[in-house]
Structure 1
Amino acid sequence: MLAGWRLRALLGGALGLALSACAGQPTVSDYREYENALTAIGDLRTDTAPEDAPFTNADLVRNFSRIALRHEVDIESAGSEENSAPNPVQRWEGPIRWGLYGRGATPQDHAEIERFLNHVSDLTGLVTHEVERDVNLMILITEPAERPAFSAALRQLYPALADGFDTWRASGRVVCMASNLFSVMDEDVIVFGMVVIGSEVTGLLRRSCLHEEIAQALGLGNDHPEVRPSIFNDDEEFALLTEHDEWLLRILYDERLTPGMSEEEAMPVVRTIVEEMRPGEPG
């Protein structure tokens, strides 16, 4: 299997203020201060259809290319044209069987994940359900003391995922992470996903991580500073999946697209899909 991962780094001025006194790994207090700094300047918005951020069909087509058909090169740097490389259409083709693990996980996390994946099913047609065995979407919310054991287990089962987990574990700049494994037979079909969040991340910032990283694991793998209104943007303006992002998921899982399509092959199809999905909207 081939592997790919992305990490959500803490970037920007709010981080410098929030973590200026932090030595080593950020604590619960550090992340709360970071969240408070973001909300104080109007970021981590929870409105999903903001009137101050309209988007046209042309915006949606362009943003699909930016988010679904590119990936970050330097996973600890901000998303941009310079920090991205092209990839073909990549997505799941079978049911998503998810499981939640780690001593940091709470009933609220479980409810949020279940609600979010049910919504994903409505948007994409993907079948999603929680299982005890044969999990192919593993969501880890771990405490620091248990991370070495998780790393060792991943190293035995999924070495490529362990590399990403250990990069996240060692970094003081990374809030949360998503990783994927791809089919040996078709390297653009996602067959396994992992989302990683530290128990130190709480509140709205944790909800934001769940939304963004699960969506990234579904195949929307890039960030770009000009994509708005969206969670696929390192400026942290929006915390939760927006209506714009829902359209990106619908497009990605439209049956007229297939894994492995190049940008040249996919974009004419994407334009047709958007025009049919949003008739009468500005082009």
Structure 2
Amino acid sequence: MPSRPTPTIFRALLLAAGLAATAASAAAQSPTGGTLPPVDDLVRYFDTIVFGSEMGPAYASTVIAKWPGDTLTVSLEQRATPEHLGFVSAHLAALGRLTGKKFSGTKTPESAAIRVLFLRRNEMAAIGGPNVDPQAIREAAAAGGCYFLSWKQPESRIVKAIVVVNVERDPALINSCLLEELTQSLGLPNDSDAMRPSIFSDRDHLSELSPHDAILVRTLYDPRMKAGLPRAAALGVARTVISELAGSARSSTSHGRGG
């Protein structure tokens, strides 16, 4: 759920100072097997996930928005546990491979690019600050799962994000929720059931990105996909990149079977 507020500062309970080292050695990998959908379907899915918004047109992006720079700092806060740190580390390792970004833990949550808050369900709606819509926060927290907020300055540059997670849920659901919100906070904000299984579908609870999810992330962070590109131009670039990625994946699968 994109937003432009100034977040309330939360006390860090678990500092992720060793996050970058943990992420670099994490074993989780993005799936590479399976049959990919046609390129046309993948381009439409990219359009839906990047430029759509279930929160309504006011929240939808009109240009490509993504994180600038090479390194993003991350803090884990409130009721985070070592298990949660493991989940986050594995997911950031996978996302780092797809985006080329490096993720580094920080001891100062106020300065973190991405803050991950592990809260009880009855605390999830208490996210405040200037320009925060309390009603939107209440709606996002109502399901009791997880949600994210992102800040853009200007519309093409994501400069801050908060991921809010219900710490009272089953660990497997927390793991899946973290993957979904961390991925969406990178500039793929929308949900959709159009292509499954997918981390962007509320009907699926995945611990790894599906092959088509991974293609969407790689497409957004391909150097040719410039921040600030309007939708029509971005979809043209997306078609080129997705065609290449899908062709490479199918070729690799074919060669693997032939061996």
Bin of the TM-score, shorter chain as denominator length = 0.7 to 0.9
Among candidates 142, 161, 166, match of residue 119 of structure 2: 142
Check the 8 A contact 1:70/1:87 in 2, yes or no: no
Could you tell me which residue of structure 1 aligns to residue 128 of structure 2? 155
Deviation at 1:277, TM superposition (A): 2.4
Could you tell me which residue of structure 2 aligns to residue 57 of structure 1? 39
Whole-angstrom CA distance in 1 between matches of 2:102 and 2:63: 23
Check the 8 A contact 2:225/2:237 in 1, yes or no: yes
CA offsets, 1:19-68, max 9 Å, x none? xxxxxxxxxxxxxxxxxxxxxxxxxxxx94574x6422222222111111
Whole-angstrom CA distance in 2 between matches of 1:117 and 1:280: 24
Could you tell me which residue of structure 2 aligns to residue 197 of structure 1? 165
- Listed as ranges, the matches of 1:207-218 within 5 Å are 207-218=175-186
Could you tell me which residue of structure 1 aligns to residue 145 of structure 2? 175
Whether 2:222 is the aligned partner of 1:254: answer yes
Code of the residue aligned with 1:251 in structure 2: it is T
Whole-angstrom CA distance in 2 between matches of 1:144 and 1:68: 28
Q: Which moved more, 1:273-282 or 1:251-260?
A: 273-282
Code of the residue aligned with 1:97 in structure 2: it is T
Whole-angstrom CA distance in 2 between matches of 1:269 and 1:117: 25
Whole-angstrom CA distance in 2 between matches of 1:263 and 1:130: 33
CA offsets, 1:176-232, max 9 Å, x none? 10110111xx22211001110111112211111000011111111111221223111
Gaps of 5+ in 2: 6-29, 251-259
Check the 8 A contact 1:50/1:229 in 2, yes or no: no
What's the % identity of the aligned pairs? 27
Deviation at 1:113, TM superposition (A): 0.6
* TM-score of the pair, normalised by structure 1: 0.68
Code of the residue aligned with 1:210 in structure 2: it is L
Deviation at 1:73, TM superposition (A): 2.6
CA RMSD of aligned residues (A): 3.0
Gaps of 5+ in 1: 6-46, 75-81
Kindly tell me: are residues 251 and 99 of structure 1, through their superposed partners in 2, closer, same or farther at Cα, counting changes over 3 Å?
Answer: same
Q: Which structure dedicates a bigger proportion of its chain to strand?
A: 1
Deviation at 1:143, TM superposition (A): 2.9
Among candidates 257, 268, 279, match of residue 236 of structure 2: 268
Could you tell me which residue of structure 2 aligns to residue 118 of structure 1? 93
Say which structure, 1 or 2, has more relative contact order (CA 8 Å, 6+ apart): 1
Kindly tell me: are residues 123 and 238 of structure 1, through their superposed partners in 2, closer, same or farther at Cα, counting changes over 3 Å?
Answer: same
Check the 8 A contact 2:74/2:103 in 1, yes or no: yes
Deviation at 1:236, TM superposition (A): 2.2
* TM-score of the pair, normalised by structure 2: 0.74
SS of the aligned residue for 2:190 comes to coil
